Structure 1
């Protein structure tokens, strides 16, 4: 999955999602649950129909918006029409400068 905060308006009561692009979506997927968070703070989310092209357009759902600079994460849970979880994807980016954030690896060299 991928997204960008570059065109997002900060600190609005209902934050419109940026465009979210999904790749390699599991077969049988019909719904996606999209949630926005920052560390331990949940900003909300919505479950919507999976777009056929795998691209959730900007403004398709609303959450509480980020106000403060920091790292925010979108998590997408892919579900079947019956609600069975088929997969999950997460991506974190810093807001507002939109740099992709990769958590430090716990692996030893």
Structure 2
């Protein structure tokens, strides 16, 4: 599974930041939901578990987190889950904010 997003046009430093648009591809068969979590280093900034969109595109502003604010590397982690909550696949994407350059994935 792959995950992509862009910080382009996003305005940080608001009390609760609306998520960017997410694109999920090669999601495993049987996946019913997706759990998205934002981190900066070891600090978790929030996330949400949502029904998996059929087209793999989760619109911007579907949920809110506590970042980004300060420039730096922020990473989104997506977990595709079955109807019973079993994690079927995981994908990560890290980008520098606000430049939107792809960054090295963090563990």
TM-score by length of 1: 0.92
4+ long deviations beyond 2 Å: none
RMSD: 1.2
Q: Give 1:1-109 correspondences, 5 Å limit.
A: 1-103=3-105
Q: Secondary structure at the match of 2:75?
A: strand
Give the aligned partner of residue 107 of structure 1: none
Q: What secondary structure, in the 3-state scheme, does the structure 2 residue paired with 1:29 have?
A: coil
Kindly name which structure, 1 or 2, has the bigger radius of gyration based on alpha carbons.
1
> What is the deviation of 1:103?
4.7
List alignment gaps of at least 5 residues for structure 2. none
Judge conservation of contact 1:32–1:79 (CA < 8 Å) in 2. yes
Contact preservation (8 Å) 2:92, 2:105 = no
TM-score for both structures, normalised by structure 2: 0.93
1:90 Cα deviation after fit: 0.1
